[in-house]
């Protein structure tokens, strides 16, 4: 807690975004990223206020549960409309995601290459 408090004192912006970071930690649906672990981490982060921890855990849990419920509802509605259309819809979502990641990576490589060329041509 002392080390966390020292970091907060040296970098005040960290203290302001620590609540948001704690909420994102709770939103991750993995083992050990729930409210208990987040409460311990919040206390270790320079002794966050109990109310800030409670609000961060509550908001993170609410967003996570809502995302899971909405995605489950979407999948159920796809399956109810027909198993073939459900599979096709799921495959379509995956294909669109893969294409989007490919386009993003290609543009990023192109931008990095242009930046490297500009850096090499500077006097």
pLDDT at position 99: 94
Q: With bands split at pLDDT 50, 70 and 90, how would you rate the model's confidence at 75?
A: confident
CA distances from 36 to 33, 41, 45, 56, 106 (A): 8, 9, 14, 12, 41
Q: Among the listed ranges 23-32, 84-93, 98-107, 114-123, which one has the minimum average pLDDT value?
A: 114-123
End-to-end Cα separation, the chain, in angstroms: 49
Q: Within this chain, do residues 60 and 102 fall inside the same structural domain, yes or no?
A: no
Task: Indicate the residue among 47, 65, 80 that finishes a domain.
Answer: 80
pTM of the model: 0.55
Domain count, the chain: 2
Mean pLDDT of the chain: 81
Between 87 and 61, name the one with better pLDDT.
Answer: 61
The pLDDT of 4-25, averaged and rounded, is 78
For residues 94 and 69, state if they share a domain: no
Q: Are residues 89 and 66 in the same domain?
A: no
- Based on the domain organization, do 96 and 62 belong to the same domain? no
The residue count of the chain comes to 123
Range of the domain at 33: 1-80
Do residues 75 and 86 both lie within one domain? no
> Is residue 86 domain-shared with residue 69, that is, in the same domain?
no
- Has residue 42 got a pLDDT over 70? yes
């Amino acid at each position: 807690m002392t080390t966390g408090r020292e970091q907060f004192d040296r970098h005040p912006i960290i203290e302001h975004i620590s609540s948001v970071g704690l909420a994102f930690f709770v939103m991750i649906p993995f083992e050990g990223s729930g409210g208990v672990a987040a409460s311990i981490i919040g206390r270790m982060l320079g002794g966050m206020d109990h109310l800030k921890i409670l609000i961060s855990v509550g908001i993170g849990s609410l967003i996570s549960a809502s995302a899971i419920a909405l995605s489950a509802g979407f999948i159920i509605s796809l399956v109810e409309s027909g198993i073939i259309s459900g599979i096709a819809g799921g495959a379509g979502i995956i294909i669109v995601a893969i294409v989007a990641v490919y386009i993003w990576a290609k543009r990023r490589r192109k931008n990095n290459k242009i930046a490297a060329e500009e850096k090499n041509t500077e006097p």
